[in-house]
A and B are shown apart, each in its own frame.
Chain A
Amino acid sequence: MCKVKVITGTSAAAEAAKLADVDVIAAYPITPQTTCVEKLAEFVANGELDAEFIKVESEHSAMSACIGASATGARTFTATASQGLALMHEMLFIAAGMRLPIVMMNANRALSAPINIWNDQQDSISQRDTGWIQFYVEDNQETLDTILQAYRIGEHEDVLLPVMVNLDGFILTHTVEPVTIPSEENAKAFVGVYEPKHAYLDPDRPITQGCVGVPECYMETRYAVEKAMENAKKVIKEIHDEFAEKFKRSYGNGLIEEYNMENADTVIVAMGSVCGTIKEVIDRLKEKGKEVGLLRVRCYRPFPAEDIAKALKDAENIAVLDKNISLGINKGALYLDLASTVRDKKVVNYIVGLGGRDIRIEDIEKIISHVEVAKDGETAWIGLKE
């Protein structure tokens, strides 16, 4: 029997890792992720979860331990945020290159300086080229559901890549919401048992992992990751649909979610929890007879370019919200990816919510009226004090 608990996003992530019956957790506490690994430490300590909890002295070590564990064939979980994710940077490439299906929860938080513990998405966006699959969830329920799906996706033999599930720091990590928790039986039946075929530790079948890749073969390994990313698009949709059928909860087609798009000329494209606020604005405008759509990018890597182009084919004004900034070009990452996909339309970029700056209903309304008169390719910083 499933049960409903009123819990935070980090607790939802911990519950998901428990349901996935992970073997190894290696993590270092960092705000606003800490409560996730605290919860998991509690599960391990009181015998609710039969796993090794490796306490490490930094996030670089946390990811190193996860790589080692996953290379033996263990199902592995970690969680981090911001500076911690940045400290993992070089190890993230190794996890992806070695094709280890580690699952990580990242609590999206701004990067220093100045020191800021509040939410934006610069941390994970800065890791976009490491070869990790990246999800951005809207609420706590989706956090749990996506982590369960993440194990299936990462461990799929056509994919074999690590998966990062990003949830907005404090907005989701520390806010309680009712979350339906599947029964252990149903969750286990869905996630299944990981039987690694490529990476394992078995004295009877000795293998070498993490070896040197000379110029004659390195390029092929990178190409293989790119192919796996491409394969992941199909796998993500399939596993999402299977999940939806079984648990009666769905998130668009798994890659993107469309909201009120049928008759909308103006469409907002965004990721993460701000989509909840945008839906609220859309509902209010609809009552007044104005149709605005939302295209939520749930999966950012692999980038669902075909799905996005298809969804936006009738849109006239496209507003892309970015909780990150690529300094030196004055554009956000989502805008840059989208602009290279949707070339013949007006796309305007809005930099929002950096370092925990609130994105209010009025801000979304302002964006909607601005995009209708703005020029293609403009960038506007919303809520900036000049």
Chain B
Amino acid sequence: MVTIGAIIYEPGSSIRNKTGSWRVFRPILDADKCIKCENCYIFCPEGAIQEVDGKFTINYDYCKGCLICVNECPVNAITKVREGK
């Protein structure tokens, strides 16, 4: 049910509404190469990169494939592949 004016009255709707469906390229993070500089974490406009148990991981439910992280990683630990391949 959409509310009048599409207003959201409860917090947490982004948990239900996944926004990663329009990705064309998928960034792949190689944890072995990662030096934990946090650049990708800072620059990701979607907040899709998280630090879990001391490792950086990408949440593909929200990653929209802009590839900013690929561009910003100083050690090329993140590479891109086409979705569906």
- B54 adjacent to chain A (CB < 8 Å): no
- Does A84 lie at the interface of the complex (its beta carbon under 8 Å from any beta carbon of B)? no
Among B1-9, B45-53, B55-63, B76-84, the stretch in contact with A: B1-9
Is A311 part of the contact surface with B, judged by Cβ < 8 Å? no
CB <8 Å contact, A224 and B8: no
Given contacts A208-B13, A214-B17, contact A221 B8 (CB under 8 A): no
Cβ–Cβ contact A221 & B7, under 8 A:
no
Question: Known: A208-B13, A214-B17. Contact between A220 and B8, CB under 8 A?
Answer: no
How many A residues face the partner with a CB closer than 8 A? 20
CB-CB under 8 A from A213, the residues of chain B are 2, 6
Residues of A within 8 A of B17 (CB): 212, 214
For B17, give the chain A residue with the smallest CB separation.
A214
Q: Which of A56-64, A93-101, A271-279, A355-363 interfaces with chain B?
A: A93-101
Chain A residues lying within 8 Å of B11, measured Cβ to Cβ, are: 206
Contact A224 B7 (CB under 8 A): no
Q: Which of A160, A198, A208 has the most CB of B within 10 A?
A: A208
B4 near A198: Cβ-Cβ < 8 Å: yes
Interface residues of B, CB < 8 Å — how many?
12
Q: Verify if A115 is at the interface (C-beta below 8 Å from B).
A: no
Tell me if B4 and A211 are in contact (CB < 8 A). no
- CB-based contact B5/A97 at 8 Å: yes
Q: Report whether over half of chain A's contact residues are helix, strand or loop; otherwise say mixed.
A: loop
B2 lies within 8 A of A221 (CB)? yes
Contact B6 A100 (CB under 8 A): no
- Tell me whether A198 and B3 are in contact (CB under 8 A): yes
Q: Most A CB atoms within 10 A — which of B4, B6, B17?
A: B6
Asked if A186 CB lies within 8 Å of chain B CBs, one says no
- Asked whether, in the complex, the Cβ of B6 is within 8 Å of the Cβ of A211, the reply is yes
Q: Smallest CB-CB separation from B11: which chain A residue?
A: A206
**A329 neighbours in B (Cβ, 8 Å):** none
Cα-based distance from A238 to B37 in the complex (angstroms)? 66
B5 — which chain A residues lie within 8 A by C-beta? 97-100, 160, 198-199, 209
Bound CA span A224–B2, Å: 9
Q: Does A4 make an interface contact (CB < 8 A)?
A: no
Q: Is A207 part of the binding interface, using a Cβ–Cβ cutoff of 8 Å? A: yes
Complex contact A217–B8 (CB within 8 A): no
List chain B residues, Cβ under 8 A from A207: 7-9
- Interchain CB contact under 8 A, B2 and A211: no
How distant is the Cα of A206 from the Cα of B6 in the complex, in angstroms? 15
Chain B residue numbers with a CB within 8 Å of A199 are 5, 7
* Contact of A198 with B6 at beta-carbon distance under 8 Å, contacts A208-B13, A214-B17 already known: no
Chain B residues in 8 Å Cβ range of A160:
4-5
Contact with A along B1-41 (1 / 0, CB 8 A): 01111111101010001010000000000000000000000
Q: Which of A195-209 contact B (CB under 8 A)?
A: 198-199, 205-209
Q: How far is the CA of A206 from the CA of B13 in the complex (A)?
A: 13
Do residues B9 and A221 form an inter-chain contact, with CB atoms below 8 A?
no
Instruction: Tell me the smallest distance from the CB of B3 to a CB of chain A, in Å.
Output: 7
Report whether B7 and A208 are in contact in the complex, using a CB–CB cutoff of 8 Å.
yes
22 A-B residue pairs with CB within 8 Å: A97-B5, A97-B6, A98-B6, A98-B7, A100-B5, A160-B5, A198-B4, A198-B5, A199-B5, A205-B9, A207-B7, A208-B8, A208-B13, A209-B5, A209-B7, A209-B8, A211-B6, A211-B7, A211-B8, A211-B13, A212-B17, A224-B4
Given A198-B7, A221-B2, 19 further pairs, Cβ under 8 A: A97-B6, A98-B5, A160-B4, A198-B4, A198-B5, A205-B9, A207-B7, A207-B8, A209-B5, A209-B7, A209-B8, A211-B13, A212-B19, A213-B6, A214-B17, A220-B2, A221-B6, A224-B2, A224-B4
Chain A: residues with CB nearer than 8 A to chain B? 97-100, 160, 198-199, 205-209, 211-214, 217, 220-221, 224
